[in-house]
Structure 1
Amino acid sequence: MSNSAVQTKHTITVDKKNWWKNAVGYQIYPRSFKDSNHDGIGDLNGIREKLPYLKELGINFIWINPIYASPNVDNGYDISDYQAIHEDFGTMDDFQALLAEAHGLELKIIMDLVVNHTSDQHPWFLESKKSLDNPYRDYYHWADASKALPPNDWQSFFGGSTWTYDEMTKQSYFHVFAKEQPDLNWKNPKVRQEIYQMIRWWLDLGIDGFRIDAISHIQKEPWDFKITDNQWAPFMNVAGIDVYLKELNAIFNEYNVMTVGEASGVPHQEAADWTGDNGYFNMIFELEHCERIGEIGQQKGSIPHLKHSLNQWQTSLADNGWNALYLENHDTPRSVSVYGDDSPEAAKALATVLLLLKGTPFIYQGQEVGMTNYPFRTIEEINAADTIHFYQTLLTQGTLDTEALAIAVNWSRDHSRTPFQWENALHGGFSTTDPWLKVNENYRMINAAQRELESSSIFHHYQTLIQLRKQTDTLIHGKFELLLPEHPTIFGYTRTTETESWLVLVQLDRHQMTISLPASWDYSKWEEILTTARAMPLTQNMTLSDYEAHVYRKVSPTE
């Protein structure tokens, strides 16, 4: 019972059009997944090599971060050619071979679609810069300005002004990210048609969908918009964005593909508009649950906020829409370090919470073996531009170097971008040469080879949860209800249909806690299906500690 799924013998409802509701996804950051040609950088053939590993884990589709041609100012999110593969990752032939082999294993491939901005090396922008009357000038946002006085005082996500002055044409161009990532002008129908043509090209190639990057930023307020409380308000979920999103949705509906939008700034109250029956995408990634607590430089994830936020999204999309579930990705630190104590127990506990919620779970590479945050010791070990900028800003403000480093790296994206730890070998088995980022020194203990061999491993717990989810209709379509909403560390919830109920109880802390469950329940009818600790019959008063997780099932109508 501790690590093997019970056959529930229920017929699973699989809607071929909405196949993604029954699926579990796996996110690959290709630069850090597996290096096949010994240059220190992960590549497409490295992903091909590890497809059997992913099949063994039990996932259904792979989301691959950008692999397009790019100067790599923002690790591929600055695209210079949408229909070419970056040479670091291989060739288009390599991609098509990966796609064919994945499909042969019944694994789908989801691409990253980055259409809020391009690289400043994209041919459109290079043309746009040439003159005020260039045909491509209006593909981007240009405004009159002087070098000393930008069109407004809006600040970019990466720090500094959203405007960069161009000496030759005496105007400034707009960018919500780095200056090397100019924003596309979605008001221009020619831009939209170019984008739509590119989207169809990839879909006709046979990919299975898109994760759409930064899509809530494509509409901007007028340049004279005055910021009040939210500094990102001028370019985050701005009124009128629906016109463009409906056009995108019409294209996606021509194909049987999955779409998930990265929708920062979209609150749970508006979730159904984005992902409901008449929404723009099948699901969206929300960012509300990622709150930090504690002193700067010592921040952790807030368990109460995590519970509260996930409950709001589960409730808002209970009857209309669908959740995209995640605890970590390429832009966040490792969840076992943020919400736990780097231990296998914490990793299993978090996996139990994530994989039994209602929605489509996304596992980030290495999460399934318990990879942790990296102990950065110098700024030279950092690659992420925003972390380096934050560090330098702290230094200019007079912060001591050691303190500035601790604060800047605390929430750095590079924690999740260190190379995958495949085995107890040089560079963790990721590469035979020095990798582009250092491998965490704990690869000797935390690696995929070891985890696959151990029946009590984090890897096997993920396998078990995935299998349990796939064979249980209630864990896919059943109603979600949060229990103990005010408890500081225990995450409890039920998943219910007319024929059965499931109960998930997880202690996200090492302290011993006793809880009381509803007196009206008939506890004799509950069977423990899965636990990460000792077997424990369900009773009204339960004592949990040390990140233990318990999953129970009751076969009967709910009371």
Structure 2
Amino acid sequence: MADAQWWQHAVGYEIYPQSFLDSNHDGVGDLPGIQTKISYLTSLGVDFVWLSAFYPSGQVDSGYDVTDYRGIDPQYGTLADFTDLVTAFHAANIKVVIDLALNHTSSQHPWFQAAVHDTTSPYHDYYIWRPATATTRPNNWESIFGGSAWTYVPAVDAAYLHTFAEDQPDLNWENPAVRREMAATIQWWADRGIDGVRLDGVTHLKKRQDFANVGHPRVDYYQDVTGTDVFLADLQPVLKRNNLFVIGEAGGIDMTTAQRWLDPQQGFFHLLLEFDHVHFWEKAEPKLPVAALRATLSKWQFGLEKSGWNALFIENHDLPRAVSYYGDPVNYRRRSAKALALWYLLMKGTPFIYQGQELGLPNAGFTQISQYRDLDSRLYYQQQRAAGVPEKQVLAQLAMRSRDNARTPMPWTHQRYGGFSDHEPWIQLAPGTEQINVERESHDPHSVLTFYQQLIRLKKSVPALEQGRYELIDTRDDQLYVYRRTLNGDNWLVVVNMSDQVATTQEFDLTTSELIFTNTEVDADSDDLEIHPWEARLYHLRKLE
């Protein structure tokens, strides 16, 4: 590869195939549909795409219950379609990263079927089994989706572990044969031209081997359990041999482990997706806790300054829409979407954009449980209603937190079904797509999409905004997020008001600066002490304060 650290200069884009574009008129997005929109991704400034799960699946958990790691689910196309897609992306100088769910398979996977039907099969030890009965579970471990993490199988007279749904049995990574299978799978896809992998659920792989009860039943049996490095080391040869770009999903990871895993010589990953900053929206009543957000993001900026590289993201297929949980989708949708873009994208690190984020798409706005497709959301509804929580309250919670908020179809035009399909989509579109769509945004010089395009070009053209040091300016309030990027005497200042109230610049001086980029109209002198609601400014500093 010409540039061994190309990803430090790149912008990534996550595609959720089921909801990107339907090319065969069945209401489900597919690989040929993605290929028709490569020119759009090029115009945005994308350097690599991350394709979320597209494997044959039981479709219990939106493709993350895999039945065949070496295939394409028929609803998305064929292996030939995948080959054509990779070829087309490479022709456009866009690299391809695929998702690999490491922690579990589908209960329909041939490995698990063999494990259930024959306890002497080598595949039996591909999964985690413990003695149990129909009424007694091995311990108090709980599934992330709720309920026991163990399901009893009478034919085996034992229970298997599932960190997620019972249809997603956990693989036994203590078994070297499992690790060899996964390494072979990575090689199989590398032979088909991929440039990288996102390893899903890395921090779930290692389980406590004493199988004892734990204090926090939903997380303590896998979180911060020593030994994952041994598993990752067995994948390292195939990753290095193929020069693959490696992203790890690492929820709950601590800084010391992150630094070790990102070490350029001894580590396993180029980027880690940690989630410390994306759950503050759950506490955002009556407003976003900006001070806590500053502290968390700055911790990772400082912690990885010399020991790695940050992955910058505010949306993905498992999160609600950023404009709905960070911003203000009602009063300042467009302005807050732009403010969020300038805020996160200009930090030090590799930015990820999730499809539709560049349009400022809001949450799905669903008001009935029948509208949801996400397993986690439907299980949550059932559990909360069984506990006596009023339906209105549960639906309000889902309207904010459901993963389906990010999985609505990509709106390309103002036409029926948003130009995503000419058939009723597998899930309803988000509200307002008659106005919020690629066609309309592409022709509007003040749109969110145009703002993203300009911002990406700006970041790539200014070395200090790519490689410069991050310096937080703590405004000691719950409104402003202010930081500086500096490289070899070239200094830039980012000022973002992340609130619906006017803020004032008390901790820094703007009189020695030049306003370069903003999401609002401001005075040409650029030193207005009032920062309007959801206003974002980028200054070039003529000298340090």
Report the CA distance shift for 1:456/1:56 in structure 2 as closer, same or farther (over 3 A). Answer: same
Correspondence for 1:500 among 477, 484, 490: 490
Higher relative contact order, chain-length normalized (CA < 8 Å, sep 6+): 1
User: Given residue 421 of structure 1, which amino acid in structure 2 is its aligned partner?
Assistant: P
User: Given residue 427 of structure 1, which amino acid in structure 2 is its aligned partner?
Assistant: Y
User: Given residue 202 of structure 2, which amino acid in structure 1 is its aligned partner?
Assistant: I
Verify: 1:79 aligned to 2:79, yes or no: no
1:501-544 Cα shifts (integer Å, max 9, x gaps): 1111111123111122446x8x43x2221111124467777210
Partner of residue 261, structure 1: 248
Correspondence for 1:49 among 14, 19, 36: 36
Partner of residue 213, structure 1: 200
Equivalent residues in 2 for 1:8-407 (5 A)? 16-229=3-216, 231-277=218-264, 278-292=266-280, 302-342=289-329, 343-407=333-397
Deviation at 1:135, TM superposition (A): 1.7
1:132-173 Cα shifts (integer Å, max 9, x gaps): 212211111111111110111100111111111111111111
Deviation at 1:41, TM superposition (A): 0.4
How far, CA to CA, are the matches of 1:229 and 1:90 in structure 2? 42
How far, CA to CA, are the matches of 1:74 and 1:299 in structure 2? 32
How far, CA to CA, are the matches of 1:409 and 1:149 in structure 2? 36
Percent identity among equivalent residues?
Answer: 39
Equivalent residues in 2 for 1:406-555 (5 A)? 406-518=396-508, 523-524=511-512, 526-536=513-523, 542-554=529-541
Deviation at 1:294, TM superposition (A): 6.6
How far, CA to CA, are the matches of 1:64 and 1:236 in structure 2? 26
Report the CA distance shift for 1:163/1:195 in structure 2 as closer, same or farther (over 3 A). Answer: same
How far, CA to CA, are the matches of 2:525 and 2:173 in structure 1? 56
Deviation at 1:293, TM superposition (A): 5.5
Q: Which runs of 5+ in 1 are unaligned?
A: 1-13
Aligned length: 541
Q: Secondary structure at the match of 1:547?
A: coil
Q: Conserved in 2, the CA contact under 8 Å of 1:516 and 1:541? A: no
Q: Which runs of 5+ in 2 are unaligned?
A: none
How far, CA to CA, are the matches of 1:323 and 1:24 in structure 2? 12
How far, CA to CA, are the matches of 1:387 and 1:300 in structure 2? 24
How far, CA to CA, are the matches of 1:294 and 1:186 in structure 2? 33
Q: Conserved in 2, the CA contact under 8 Å of 1:113 and 1:211? A: yes
1:259-300 Cα shifts (integer Å, max 9, x gaps): 11000110234321121223220010011112345789x787
Q: Conserved in 1, the CA contact under 8 Å of 2:281 and 2:325? A: no
Q: Conserved in 2, the CA contact under 8 Å of 1:303 and 1:488? A: yes
User: Given residue 390 of structure 2, which amino acid in structure 1 is its aligned partner?
Assistant: L
TM-score, scaled relative to structure 1: 0.93
User: Given residue 290 of structure 1, which amino acid in structure 2 is its aligned partner?
Assistant: V
1:414-466 Cα shifts (integer Å, max 9, x gaps): 00101111111001111111101001231111111110000111111101111
Q: Conserved in 1, the CA contact under 8 Å of 2:281 and 2:326? A: no
Q: Secondary structure at the match of 2:481?
A: strand
Report the CA distance shift for 1:168/1:71 in structure 2 as closer, same or farther (over 3 A). Answer: same
Deviation at 1:357, TM superposition (A): 0.6
Q: Secondary structure at the match of 2:432?
A: helix
User: Given residue 457 of structure 1, which amino acid in structure 2 is its aligned partner?
Assistant: S
